[in-house]
Structure 1
Amino acid sequence: MWAALVALYVLLFPYHPGLRSPNELCRLWQTRALVEYGTLDINGALRDYGYVGDLSVKDGKYYPSKAPLLSFAAVPLYAGLRAVGGGHRYAVPEVPLVFFSRLLLTVLPTLFMLWLVRRYLRAHLEPAVADALTVTYGLGSLAFSYSLLFMSHQTTAVLLFGGFYALWRCARGDWRERGYLVAGACAGATVAAEYTGALGVLGLVLYAVLTVLLQPVPARERWTRLGRAAGLATLGALPFVVALALYHQSAFGHPLTTGYKHLNDAGYQPWHLGGFLGIRTPDPRAFALSFFSPLRGLFTLAPFLLLALPGLARLRYRRTDASAEPRAVAWMTVALLGGYTYFTSSFSYDSWGWTTGPRHLTGLVPFLLLPAGLWLERLRAGGRTWAPGAAAMLCAASIATTGVATFVNYIPDDVSNAVGALALPLLGAGFFPPGVLSFLGLPHLVAGALTLAALLAVAGWVYRELARGGGRRWPAPAALGAGLATLALLVAGHVLTTEHDEADRNAVRFLQSVWLTPPGRPVPFWPGPGA
Structure 2
Amino acid sequence: MDKGTKIFLTLFLTYAFFTNTYLTTNDASRFSLTAAIVEEHSLVIDSYLDTVISKWWFAKDYAVFDGRRYSDKAPLGSFLGVPVYWAFSFFTSDPAVLTYFVSLFTAGLATAATALLIYRFGAEFTENHSVRTGLALAYGIASMPLFYGTVFFSHAFTALFGFTSFYLLFMYRRRGGEKKLVFAGVSSALAVASDYYAGLIAVILFLYALEISRKKAYVFLLAFLGGISLLLTYHWAAFESPFALPYLYSNLFSKFHSEGFYGVRFLDWKKFSNLLSQLFSVWGFFFTTPFALLSFAALPRFSKTYRLETLTIIAITSG
TM-score bracket, normalised by the shorter chain, equals 0.7 to 0.9
User: What whole-Å deviation, never above 9, does each CA across 1:415-465 have from its counterpart, x for those lacking one?
Assistant: xxxxxxxxxxxxxxxxxxxxxxxxxxxxxxxxxxxxxxxxxxxxxxxxxxx
- State how far apart, in whole Å, the 2-side matches of 1:49 and 1:4 are: 30
Question: Aligned letter for 1:114?
Answer: A
Match for residue 246 of structure 1 among 210, 227, 233: 233
The two structures have a TM-score, normalised by structure 1, of 0.54
Counterpart residue identity of residue 109, structure 1: A
Write the distance in 1 (CA, Å) between the matches of 2:274 and 2:258: 17
Q: Which residue of 2 aligns with 1:116?
A: 117
Larger Rg: 1
CA contact (8 A) 1:9 1:144 kept: yes
Q: Secondary structure at the match of 1:62?
A: strand
Cα distance in 1 for partners of 2:171, 2:50 equals 49
Query: Is contact 2:158–2:195 with CA below 8 Å preserved after alignment?
Result: yes
Counterpart contact for 2:20–2:103, Cα < 8 Å: no
Aligned-residue offset at 1:4: 4.8
Q: Is the 8 A contact 2:257 2:263 kept in 1?
A: yes
Say whether 1:334 aligns with 2:314: yes
Once residues 154 and 35 of structure 2 are traced to their aligned partners in structure 1, the CA distance between those partners, rounded to angstroms, is: 18
Q: Does the Cα contact within 8 Å between 2:76 and 2:193 map onto a contact in 1?
A: yes
d(CA) in 2 for partners of 1:329, 1:299: 22
Q: How many Å separate the matches in 2 of 1:116 and 1:47?
A: 37
Question: What residue identity is the alignment partner of 1:132?
Answer: G
Instruction: Report the counterpart of residue 255 of structure 1 in structure 2.
Output: 242
Provide the C-alpha distance between the structure 2 equivalents of 1:71 and 1:292, rounded to a whole number of angstroms. Answer: 32
Report the alpha carbon displacement of residue 253 of structure 1 after superposing the two structures with TM: 3.3
Equivalent in 285, 298, 302 of residue 273 of structure 2: 285
Q: 1:62 to 1:271 in 2, by over 3 A?
A: same
C-alpha displacement at 1:134, in angstroms?
Answer: 1.8
Secondary structure of 2:304's aligned partner? coil
Q: Distance in 2 between matches of 1:297 and 1:248?
A: 34
User: For residue 275 of structure 1, what is the aligned residue in structure 2?
Assistant: 260
Alignment of 1:68 onto 2:80: no
Per-residue deviation, 1:126: 5.2
2:194 is matched with: 193
Output the CA distance in 2 between the equivalents of 1:151 and 1:5: 18
Q: Which of 30, 35, 41 matches 1:32?
A: 35
Pick closer, same or farther for the CA change 1:142–1:238 going to 2, 3 Å.
same
Distance in 2 (CA, whole Å) between partners of 1:297 and 1:47 is 31
The answer to whether the 8 A contact 1:312-1:334 is kept is no
Q: 2:19 matched to 1:13?
A: yes
Q: What is the number of residues matched between the two proteins?
A: 305
Deviation at 1:49, TM superposition (A): 5.3
- Residues 316 and 47 of structure 1: is their aligned pair in 2 closer, same or farther, counting only changes over 3 Å? closer
Structure-2-length-normalised TM-score:
0.88
Q: CA-to-partner distance for each residue in 1:68-96, whole Å, 9 max, x for gaps?
A: 111122222222222x22xxxxx521122
Q: Distance in 1 between matches of 2:255 and 2:167?
A: 37
What is residue 523 of structure 1 aligned with on the other side? none
- 1:210 matched to 2:211: yes
Q: Report Cα offsets for 1:264-314 as digits up to 9, x if no partner.
A: 25xx622211111112221321221110112x2111112221112222211
Letter in 1 for 2:318: G
| Match in the other structure for 1:431 | none
> CA 1:32–1:205 in 2, change beyond 3 Å: closer, same or farther?
same
Aligned positions of 1:78-89 closer than 5 A: 78-82=85-89, 84-85=90-91
Give the match for residue 3 of structure 2. none
User: Any stretches of 5+ residues in structure 1 without a counterpart?
Assistant: 86-90, 213-225, 319-325, 340-531
Q: 1-side partners of 2:51 and 2:293: how far apart?
A: 48
% same residue? 29
Query: In structure 2, what is the equivalent of residue 424 of structure 1?
Result: none
Write out per-residue CA displacement over residues 160-211 of structure 1, whole angstroms, 9 at most, x where no aligned residue.
Answer: 11111111221111x5211111101101111111101112222222222222
Measured in 1, the distance between the counterparts of 2:302 and 2:133 equals: 19
Q: 8 Å contact 2:33–2:78 — kept in the other structure?
A: yes
The offset of 1:53, in angstroms, is 3.5
Alpha-carbon distance, 1:6 to partner? 4.2
Inter-partner Cα distance in structure 2 for 1:179 and 1:137: 24
SS at match of 2:69: strand
Contact (CA 8 Å) 1:177, 1:229: kept in 2 or not? no
Coordinate RMSD, CA, aligned: 2.1
